[in-house]
Amino acid sequence: MTTLRAQSRHGPTVSVLPKRRSTICNGSHHVDSRRAVLASVKATGTRTLNQAIRRRTQEEVFAIARKALGDLSSATLEERMAEVFIRKVQDMDDATKATLADASKKSADPVVVRSAFELPPKERAGINDALNRAFSADVRVRFETAPELVSGIECATNGHKVGWSIADYLGSLENGVAELLKERETTEAKVEPKPKLGETASTPQAKEAPKPEADPAPKPEATAEAKPEEQAETKPDADSAPKAEAAAETKPQTKAEPKPANEPVAKSP
């Protein structure tokens, strides 16, 4: 108390003033760096939540579409889709025709044509005829029903398939949306502003502030549009199979937090 009174009466001494300034400056740097870390963590959390919302929204939109179309589809719709499929097979480009024809020739098994509902003889004959013309050969065809197509036709031969079904349509559309969202998220991560640090921005401590995931490492992509059929009686164990999230584990973690300045940077006047 005595000291304080003495200071208030006579003002701070020359030796006390630089020390006080140094302490205040230190505290300011520390607060700024903590604030930057907090902003970074908050931004990362917000981005993760936003990505989750977008992904779930996309999944739900397509799940609703699948359910609605599955509930409303009928054999009549299937016949109509078979007609369109025949037309599409006839209009296939040469490369696609050649790929399928080669695959078909190399296999002893017949070409499998699946549909959600059983096709009437007229549509079966039409599809068989279209495949004969497309492959320029007398193609043996086996017809099967596959309710998971929702509605439509799928033609598979020796590890290759073409599909004209609602499931295929929605799957392709969903991939398109996923790619768009991924593009946006990548752009968003790149352009996200760095946390400002006020007046101390030019100090070395400020430069060490973390950049929130500015350069995400590439994730393994489903580059091969491979999709195993569910022909085998033993289905893949859904619980034991790795989930899509497992691939996301390879994402880079947020950068290390900057350490607060331990030594005062302010100089005494």
Partner 1 sequence: MNGPPESLQNVFDEAFTSVSQARERFEPKLIVREIGTVTTVSTGVAYVAGLPGVGFEELVRFPGGEFGIAFNVDEDELVLA
Asked whether position 225 contacts partner 1 by CB under 8 A, the answer is yes
Cβ atoms 158, 112 nearer than 8 A: no
> Which CB, 215 or 239, lies closer to partner 1?
239
Amino acid identity, residue 40? S
Asked whether position 145 contacts partner 1 by CB under 8 A, the answer is no
CB of 158 to partner 1, least distance (A): 8
Q: Which helix (H) or strand (E) holds 144?
A: strand 141-145
CB of 43 to partner 1, least distance (A): 8
> Which neighbouring-strand residues pair with 153?
115, 164
Segment lying near partner 1 (by CB under 8 A), choices 116-124, 125-133, 191-199, 251-259? 191-199
Among positions 16, 24, 173, 265, the unique one binding partner 1 when judged by CB under 8 A: 173
* 163: alpha, beta or left? (left if phi > 0; alpha if psi -120 to 50): beta
Whose CA is closest to 53, among 213, 171, 181, 215? 181
- Distance between CA 140 and CA 147 in Å, rounded? 23
Among positions 32, 44, 104, 195, the unique one binding partner 1 when judged by CB under 8 A: 195
Asked whether position 222 contacts partner 1 by CB under 8 A, the answer is yes
> CA–CA distance from 53 to each of 46, 50, 98, 103, 186 (Å)?
10, 5, 43, 42, 16
- Give the footprint of partner 1 on residues 33-92 (CB under 8 A): 39, 42-43, 46, 50, 53-54, 57-58, 61, 88-89, 92
> Which neighbouring-strand residues pair with 115?
145, 153
Applying CB under 8 A, the residues found at the interface with partner 1 are 39, 42-43, 46, 50, 53-54, 57-58, 61, 88-89, 92, 96, 99-100, 148, 156, 158-164, 169, 172-173, 176-177, 179-181, 184, 192-193, 195-196, 220-232, 234-238, 240-244, 246-247
